[in-house]
Amino acid sequence: MAEAWDHLSHGLERVELGGDVRAMTAGYLIAGRLKLTEGDIGAAAEYLEQARPHVESGHFSHWASRFERFQLELWLAQDRLRVTVNWVDEMLQDEALQGRPENEVAQPAMARVLIVKGDVASIKQALVRLERLLQAAEAEGRTGVTIEALALQALAQWRRGERTDALTALERALRLAEPEGYVRRFADYGPPMARLLQEVRSRDVMPDYVKKLLMAFGGDISSPTPDQQALPESLSPREQEILALLAAGLTNREIAEELVISSQTVKKHAGNIYSKLGVHSRTGAAARARDLNLLD
């Protein structure tokens, strides 16, 4: 990863000196994606903002979907679920992506947000879009898109309780991905994908490749997944209330206003919730709560 970053960084410097705006736009987006993969959210956001004026100028409309996908993934990494869901709802309302260049680039990101959103209607919408994307990708022999659609399909089916279908879809994705050496295409989906891969690993499916993928998530891959553990300490009524608002995407300040308490009190409750659920972020808390059926 470091070698790839050094090569890209030097190339980007040369492009900036040369004034090639098209290449700069591509370079900013690629550099931002690399930084996001490394977990450097601040640097990723800076590169996104450097690319923004060039994309929004209209001169490079073919990069718009890639830019929007990067924006969605950055919002998810920043736990800005509400703004992410609002953007996707707006796109779905008027089908703003239809007929645009690189429509297929943004579709997986939209499906991922719908899966994170997690309600019955959103999961159904995600599966419909992924099936459409999968059929087109398979018909045209686009392996990368096929793998991504299958991986997301597995996450959506698992969230809906269709575990056999989820594991079947994931195994198909893994068998296509192993010869090409894909890792980030799975690791970028975070803890939900790690839990699915742990399940696949327990069934001794492609053990060497699955172990390699799990190592990309970091931590002890032998430890039990959240789904295998009981909640060690139950949430108080107030914590359950705050958890529901966190999962809905409200900020600490908005939760404080809703419940007529201080932001500091919300922050303290959120820390207790994270500790009890064994997570470190709002997105993780929401996913864990849905796994445990703690949300209505």
Please answer whether residues 223 and 261 qualify as being in contact, where contact means their C-beta atoms are separated by less than 8 angstroms. Answer: no
Burial class (CB in 10 A: 0-12, 13-18, 19+), 210: buried
Torsion 259-292-279-33 (CA) sign: negative
Query: Stretch 162-177: mean pLDDT, rounded?
Result: 93
| Chain-centre distance for alpha carbon 40 | 15
Pick from 90, 20, 31: nearest CA to 59: 20
Tokens of 232: 């060690």
Residue written as token pair 């994170």: 116
Pick from 150, 121, 120: nearest CA to 134: 150
Query: Stretch 221-240: mean pLDDT, rounded?
Result: 60
Please answer whether residues 57 and 67 qualify as being in contact, where contact means their C-beta atoms are separated by less than 8 angstroms. Answer: no
Dump pLDDT digits (tens) for 247-275.
877 888 889 988 889 989 999 999 889 88
| Chain-centre distance for alpha carbon 99 | 24
Determine what percent of the chain is predicted with pLDDT higher than 70.
80
Lowest mean pLDDT among 26-30, 61-65, 69-73, 157-161: 61-65
Confidence (pLDDT) at 5: 45
Q: Where are the domains of the chain?
A: 230-291
Encode the chain in three state secondary structure: CHHHHHHHHHHHHHHHHHCCHHHHHHHHHHHHHHHHHHCCHHHHHHHHHHHHHHHHCCCCHHHHHHHHHHHHHHHHHCCCHHHHHHHHHHHHHHCCCCCCCCHHHHHHHHHHHHHHHCCHHHHHHHHHHHHHHHHHHHHCCCHHHHHHHHHHHHHHHHHCCCHHHHHHHHHHHHHHHHHHCCCHHHHCCHHHHHHHHHHHHHCCCCHHHHHHHHHCCCCCCCCCCHHHCCCCCCCCHHHHHHHHHHHCCCCHHHHHHHHCCCHHHHHHHHHHHHHHHCCCCHHHHHHHHHHCCCCC
CATH architecture label of 230-291 = Orthogonal Bundle (1.10)
Please answer whether residues 266 and 242 qualify as being in contact, where contact means their C-beta atoms are separated by less than 8 angstroms. Answer: yes
Confidence (pLDDT) at 225: 42
Query: Stretch 142-164: mean pLDDT, rounded?
Result: 91
Confidence (pLDDT) at 210: 92
**What is the value of pTM for the model shown?**
0.62
